[in-house]
Copies of this chain bind each other. A is one copy, B any other.
Amino acid sequence: MNFTRIDGRAENVLRPTKITPNFMPNAEGSALIEVGNTKVICTASIEDRVPHFLRNQGKGGWLTAEYSMLPRATNTRTQRESGNRGVSGRTQEIQRLIGRSLRAVMDLTALGERTITLDCDVMQADGGTRTASITGAYVALLLACQSLQKNNVIKRSPIVHEVAAVSVGIVEGTALLDLCYVEDSAADVDMNIVCTGSGKFIEIQGTAEKQAFTSEQMIEMLALAEKGIQQLMMFQRYAVK
């Protein structure tokens, strides 16, 4: 096929990916994930309290996520936003997605009445920050849970599946794996996919940015994503080994 990607990759190839565990020494678990020029600092913080709706109910713990970008993660400066108010709709969508994806692989009763907060702070943004955040946050979460077990705070790990995420899309009619920012801007379709270690889907979010898409294209994109996610899980396993 004649389509050439901006960085010369084949359609089904991830960008160079690297996960550095324990990047933030103060956190219970942490990782720096680099996917091409996208870099996200992920930390997992454990606190001995749960939200109001879970208190004293024996239902175990909670997991929540926050997502933010350093002002110069982007090419031109992006204004800060944070706190409970003033967070943009895009940011809220992303932090809800990260939280939901990680909760989906947890047995929260095994956590006890604790809250884990996953902070994903984007140092550099070149497309795919939300999927990189999920993939990196899983490593931070796993390290934090291992430390809870090692310290005999909990008996069994609350993590019951692996999870990683990747973006796929259609650019000029071609399905591509792991879009960088330039590709993402030109994409007809943009899709974020979150999978478990056994290849099942946790989240599929596909949007026709320029062109509606067919079932066939959908199936093609899912296949690309599954392959990419399997590779990302090898990076995760290597990082926490």
- Chain A residues at the B interface, C-beta cutoff of 8 Å: 24-27, 30, 41, 43, 45, 47, 66, 68, 70-77, 79-86, 89-90, 92-93, 95-96, 100, 104, 117, 119, 121, 123-124, 161, 191, 195-196, 198, 200-208, 212-215, 218-219, 222
Cα A11 to Cα B27 with chains together (Å): 31
| Chain B residue at minimum C-beta to C-beta distance from A44 | B72
Task: Please indicate the chain B residues that have their CB under 8 angstroms from the CB of A200 in the complex.
Answer: 208, 212-214
A25 touches B124 (CB 8 A): yes
B81 touches A82 (CB 8 A): yes
Task: Please indicate the chain B residues that have their CB under 8 angstroms from the CB of A123 in the complex.
Answer: 24, 41
- Give the distance to chain B from A40, nearest Cβ to Cβ, in Å: 12
Q: Which residue of the partner chain, among B195, B204, B208, contacts A202 with CB atoms under 8 Å?
A: B208
Q: Which residue of the partner chain, among B24, B86, B196, B205, contacts A212 with CB atoms under 8 Å?
A: B196
Provide the main secondary structure of the chain A interface.
Answer: mixed
Task: Please indicate the chain B residues that have their CB under 8 angstroms from the CB of A79 in the complex.
Answer: 83
B92 touches A70 (CB 8 A): no
- Give the distance to chain B from A102, nearest Cβ to Cβ, in Å: 12
A86 touches B83 (CB 8 A): yes
B81 touches A89 (CB 8 A): no
Cα A101 to Cα B77 with chains together (Å): 22
Q: Which residue of the partner chain, among B75, B104, B121, B205, contacts A70 with CB atoms under 8 Å?
A: B121
Q: Which residue of the partner chain, among B81, B89, B206, contacts A204 with CB atoms under 8 Å?
A: B206
B86 touches A96 (CB 8 A): no
B204 touches A218 (CB 8 A): yes
A77 touches B204 (CB 8 A): no
Task: Please indicate the chain B residues that have their CB under 8 angstroms from the CB of A124 in the complex.
Answer: 24-26
Question: What 14 additional pairs, Cβ within 8 angstroms, besides A83-B83, A198-B212?
Answer: A26-B124, A41-B123, A45-B72, A66-B80, A68-B80, A71-B119, A80-B83, A81-B83, A89-B95, A201-B214, A201-B215, A202-B212, A203-B206, A203-B208
A77 touches B218 (CB 8 A): no
